[in-house]
A and B are shown apart, each in its own frame.
Chain A
Amino acid sequence: MAKMMYRDAVRNTIFQEMKRDDSVVVLGEDVVGGMGTPGGPEAIGGIWSTSTGLFGEFGADRVIDTPISESAIVGAAGGLALSGKRPIAELMFADFIGVSLDQIWNQIAKFRYMFGGKTKCPAIIRCIYGAGYNAAAQHSQSPHAILTGMPGLKVVMPSTPADVAGLLRQAIRDDDPVIFMEHKALYGVQGEVPDDPDFCIPFGHARLTRAGQDVTILATGMMVGMAESAADTLAENGIGCDVIDLRTTSPLDEEAILDSVEVTGRLVIVDEAPPRCSLATDLSALVAQKAFASLRAPIEMVTAPHTPIPFARELESAYLPNPDKIEAAVRKALAYN
């Protein structure tokens, strides 16, 4: 085990996989870091420092700086993947996924299906997403719901450095396109990461981070830590919460969710995105349909409001879910009878 930050787990895993497999290539805006500046390549390092040192080790053929064009980045990744490479494309801000939606939605997600399984498209789109950085409405969003709704894509939302390592390695070795969503506010979070160079976490296996018998809390990404913090506070008051980190929203670990709700009968879903047609409403519908008999209270959702993300620091923190809101939702679910 080694202690490292979330961002280092991204970089290290890419580094190890590029060493292991020549077909792995990295592309994106400023992934070299400083190309064209007076100091030369790697003088500055990309804004997220998730590709530091890759250019020096693997060179310009495998670490490719691109123009500021998400459609070009994702389109190139799709072409590389079709022609036998394993590209890792970086979208510096997931908010701009809209301009590359045709490449993702109509091309990458559909190749294997439309060619009758005769081809594969092992592309990874790393999307840096999420609020908490005071970055306003166009640089803070969490677009996981629309991507989860696209058949043909796998959507991964790691919450810890260890999960980054295991899930990113699984994504690189997977033969299907994977949307790998990295929360920008988690980049500095430290955690233990296994040293095993083949450490993979299979998709569709949720992680039970806290065990309790009173309420089930579902969360992804940055919301997991908040749910854990709320669960710890509640545990001191004798209220036990199952906190489930979904890890991947597609495929979804339906069994983990239903098994927990069948025990607790009460569900709180935490989602950073606005509430309409969201991951939270989707999970709520799943449980309402398949565990109606077990529910003992209405499903509670802790989400952002249905508005763009505000710029002001105070408003942004009011906008986001937090442990207090989660605790209140748990207590509300428990109070219902």
Chain B
Amino acid sequence: MGKIRAFTMPKWGIEMTEGTIAEWMFGEGDSFTRGDLICLIETDKITNEVEAEYDATIRRILVAGGGEPEPVGALLAVFDDGSASDAEIDDFIAAFKPAEGGVAEGRQKKKEGKPKEAGIEGEEDKPRAITIETNRPISPEALKLAQAEGIDIADIHGSGRGGRITFQDVQQAMRGPSTRSPKGTAVLPDETSVFASPLARRLAAIHGIELSGVTGTGARGRISKKDVLAKVPEPVASSGATPAFGAPFEAVENEPKVIPFDKIRKIVARRLTQAKQTIPHFYLRVGVKADALLELRKTANLVLGVKASVNDYIVMAAAKALAQHPDVNVQLHGEEIHSFPHADVAVAVASPKGLVTPIVRQANRMRIDQIASRTKELIGKAKDGKLGFEEMDGGTFTVSNLGMFGIENFDAIINPPQGAILAVGSAERRAVETDGGDIAFATVISMTLSVDHRAIDGAAGAQFLATLKSLLEEPETLFA
């Protein structure tokens, strides 16, 4: 009889108490091999792919996909090598006692170090096993390995004291010599032959422009920022074929391309529907004068040598304002409000797989350059689909910015369990009244705060927005 194994609800992170099987990739009776995607498990934070840790056959699925949440350790399915009888499977299920931690592990989750027990079950017998009789010095583990794998130790050169053979020596002998060919030397870029400003060098590196091909227009032929920017190719819109003038209009086929929801979109759709339907949203709107911020950003970026975006500054200001208003820096868990001293600010990112919200942790304690590099890293990972669970888990607030698309303002849906989300619109030139009563133009960014009224009252949200506005309008206070 083959070994029957339980597949239970895994535990990802301390806070996880239950999870839901979103979808099974295999049905009962199907076999999978190690590394196959077995199923998707959804928690209140994230959906994880569960990979097989060994080859097996699915004998019984006890919890179907898309059902109710199951507690951690609950029996989800039973696997074996396909040889056990149905009665044996039934007995196994009847005798199963839930324990914490699953058998299969998610991508983000690593195995717990478990103390070894005598006689590990399920280990296969190696037919190649031999008995080695030798008077050469060899460590007990090395001898055990050599015997189990049938390695002739006569050819092994021992690296231990007095030529004693270690476990590592036997393992090396099993692997054979490396076949990787050396990569050779590298050529360092010649910094001296090209006369260019540091900013121009950085821009050239960002846009992949060869500086030797750029003509410098600065003093004594020095390559400056604008010389490099002139070389940056403008994206050209492709012009479709225009029908000849005077020809009559002809309708063409307009069949829809059907795109079924993928897993991510299913979850995004479900969670947003749930959030919009169950959370009593209310909205607070404010216009923030951004001229001082835009001016300061230019100087600060040059001085600090970073490329911090306006959004990075908004994240920083929001984080600092949240730290001053812990009654807005909250998560809502059932009938409890969890108010945090530090602001873990999630940033909404459009990734190829859909909307993701990676988190800049303790953004209120970061300098602007740290925020800029962190958001850059997270956005990069989001675009590559490489965000880890811990990079999206939790968060106390979200900033969603569509200003770069020219959106004036919009209302965002709260990302539970957070209590609020800030929707940032574009910076627009608007006529405003000056202190002296004249009319002048100012750059104004519209912001809308969506608030969960169960956790945060209107006055608290308004006070938070007032702090945020004053931080952004007097941006030097961000560096105080």
Interface residues of A (CB under 8 A from B): 213-214, 238-240, 254-255, 258-259, 262-263, 266, 290-294, 297, 333-337
Contact = CB atoms under 8 A, between A and B. Distances in A.
Contacts of B161: 254-255
A294 B141 contact: yes
A257 B166 CA distance: 11
A238 B112 CA distance: 14
A214 B142 contact: no
A335 B109 CA distance: 12
Contact of A290 (B110, B116, B160): B160
Contacts of A262: 139-142, 166-167
Given A259-B140, A290-B160, 15 more contacts: A214-B115, A238-B115, A240-B116, A255-B139, A262-B139, A262-B142, A262-B166, A263-B141, A290-B166, A291-B168, A292-B168, A294-B141, A297-B113, A333-B113, A337-B110
Nearest to B140: A259
B159 interface: yes
A214 B168 contact: no
A259 B115 contact: no
B164 interface: yes
A215 to B, nearest CB: 9
B167 A337 contact: no
A165 to B, nearest CB: 27
B111 interface: yes
A214 B139 contact: no
B115 A258 contact: no
Interface of B: 110-113, 115-116, 139-142, 159-161, 164, 166-168, 171-172
B168 A294 contact: yes
Nearest to B164: A255
Contacts of A240: 115-116
B147 to A, nearest CB: 14
A262 B170 CA distance: 12
A235 B386 CA distance: 39
Contacts of A293: 167-168, 171-172
B139 A258 contact: yes
6 contacts: A214-B113, A258-B160, A290-B166, A292-B168, A335-B113, A337-B111
A258 B166 contact: yes
Contacts of B112: 335, 337
B390 to A, nearest CB: 15
Nearest to A237: B115
Contacts of A263: 141
A266 B161 CA distance: 21
Nearest to B145: A262
A291 B166 contact: yes
Contacts of B171: 293
A262 B168 CA distance: 9
A254 B172 CA distance: 20
A244 B111 CA distance: 27
A292 B175 CA distance: 14
Contacts of A213: 115-116
Contacts of A266: 113
B115 A254 contact: no
Contact of B160 (A255, A292, A335): A255
A128 B359 CA distance: 54
Given A214-B113, A290-B160, A335-B113, A259 B172 contact: no
